[in-house]
């Protein structure tokens, strides 16, 4: 059965996920004035639509104001955040998609495996309307999993046709900085010291911080926290106890975990798990 909950307050996010459709998850919020994100990234593909109002959209090194009708896109690993402007109301829907599944959809359009989407935003009415139709379909209890999957395949085929003309630009490689990221990816559940990362990458602390932030658009510490939050999301989807997840994910205590999770996802672990 699909897992979702209704918001008791318009600022409470509403999540949708279904064990029969593990490749996609949806999130919506009716009033985003109090919803603030730290810069973060996902290891999956993300796409959303601003359904009312305006907000600030940070993507890697870019910053833009987006309003109703805008579709935003984030490839895996892209650092981003969307936040309110002053106290202006805004609302949105978001989708989080397994890139391997998306790659299979892209292959039907003549692309070999998952290819990053080059655009970071779009004003295409067909994409905006398609995202809203997909959201309604996923939340519709009258539709079975097959009908919802058909709707998802249809939309992401349209996305590839509209925006998949070329690959997204690749980030300039820096082997030692990437070695630092690999070290974090392998040890983020443990206590990591900056000097441990520096030793693994053979870099000085000052150079590592500067080069890492230039390459990944976040500091090594922020990268560690981001990986821990990604790990915690997966465990929450499995229904594990929040206290256990906090301990397993490398946080000092449950309160620290709660603060970091809400800072990254603008919702509590309990709300996300439900």
Domain with CATH 1.10.10.60 in the chain: 175-273
DSSP 8-state secondary structure symbol assigned to residue 167: P
Q: What is the pLDDT of residue 168?
A: 46
Strand partners, 227: none
Give phi and psi for 228, each to the nearest 5.
-65, -40
- Tell me how crowded residue 99 is: count the other CB atoms within 10 A of its CB: 19
pLDDT per position as a tens digit, 221-230 = 889 999 999 9
Structure tokens at 200: 């693994």
pLDDT at 23 over 90: yes
Q: What is the architecture, at CATH level 2, of domain 175-273?
A: Orthogonal Bundle (1.10)
Task: For domain 2-163, say whether CATH 3.40.50.2300 is its number.
Answer: no
For all residues of the chain together, what is the average pLDDT? Answer: 86
pLDDT per position as a tens digit, 158-173 = 999 899 754 444 445 5
pLDDT at 50 over 90: yes
pLDDT at 274 over 80: no
Q: What is the pLDDT of residue 44?
A: 92
Q: What is the pLDDT of residue 7?
A: 46
Mean per-residue pLDDT, 86-102 = 91
CB of 223 within 8 A of CB of 39? no
Q: Which residue has the higher pLDDT, 96 or 87?
A: 96
Q: Is 244 helix (H, G, I), strand (E, B) or coil?
A: helix
Domain with CATH 2.60.120.280 in the chain: 2-163
Strand partners, 67: 54
Distant-in-sequence, close-in-space partners of 182: CB < 8 Å, separation ≥ 6? none
pLDDT at 239 over 80: yes
Q: What is the pLDDT of residue 170?
A: 43
Q: Is 199 helix (H, G, I), strand (E, B) or coil?
A: helix
Of 36, 27, 26, 39, the residue nearest 226 (C-alpha): 39
* Maximum pairwise Cα distance, the chain: 58
pLDDT at 155 over 60: yes
CB of 198 within 8 A of CB of 209? no
What is the spatial distance between Cα 195 and Cα 208, in angstroms, rounded to a whole number? 10
Percentage of the chain beyond pLDDT 90 is 37
Mean per-residue pLDDT, 194-218 = 86
pLDDT at 48 over 90: yes
Distant-in-sequence, close-in-space partners of 41: CB < 8 Å, separation ≥ 6? 74, 76, 77, 78, 79, 80, 218, 226
As a residue count, the chain comes to: 274
């Amino acid at each position: 059965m699909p897992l979702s909950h209704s918001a008791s307050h318009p600022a409470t996010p509403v999540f949708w996920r279904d064990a029969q459709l593990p490749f996609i998850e949806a999130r919506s919020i009716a009033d985003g004035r109090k919803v603030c994100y730290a810069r973060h990234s996902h290891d999956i593909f993300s796409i959303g639509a601003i359904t009312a109002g305006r907000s600030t959209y940070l993507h890697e090194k870019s910053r833009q104001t987006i309003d109703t009708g805008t579709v935003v896109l984030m490839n895996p690993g892209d650092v981003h955040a969307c936040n309110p402007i002053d106290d202006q109301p805004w609302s949105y829907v978001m989708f989080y998609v397994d890139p391997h599944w998306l790659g299979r959809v892209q292959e039907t359009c003549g692309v070999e495996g998952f290819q990053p989407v080059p655009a970071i935003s779009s004003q295409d009415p067909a994409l905006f309307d398609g995202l809203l139709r997909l959201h309604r379909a996923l939340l519709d209890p009258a539709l079975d999993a097959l009908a919802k999957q058909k709707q998802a395949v249809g939309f992401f085929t349209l996305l590839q046709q509209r925006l998949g003309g070329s690959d997204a630009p690749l980030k300039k490689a820096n082997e030692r900085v990437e070695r630092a990221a690999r070290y974090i990816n392998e040890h983020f559940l443990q206590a990591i010291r900056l000097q441990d990362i520096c030793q693994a990458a053979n870099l000085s602390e000052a150079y590592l911080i500067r080069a890492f932030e230039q390459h990944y658009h976040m500091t090594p510490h922020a990268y560690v926290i981001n990986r821990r939050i990604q790990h915690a999301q997966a465990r929450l989807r499995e229904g594990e106890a929040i206290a256990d997840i906090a301990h397993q994910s490398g946080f000092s205590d449950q309160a620290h975990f709660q603060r970091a999770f809400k800072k990254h996802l603008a919702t509590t672990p309990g709300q996300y798990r439900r």
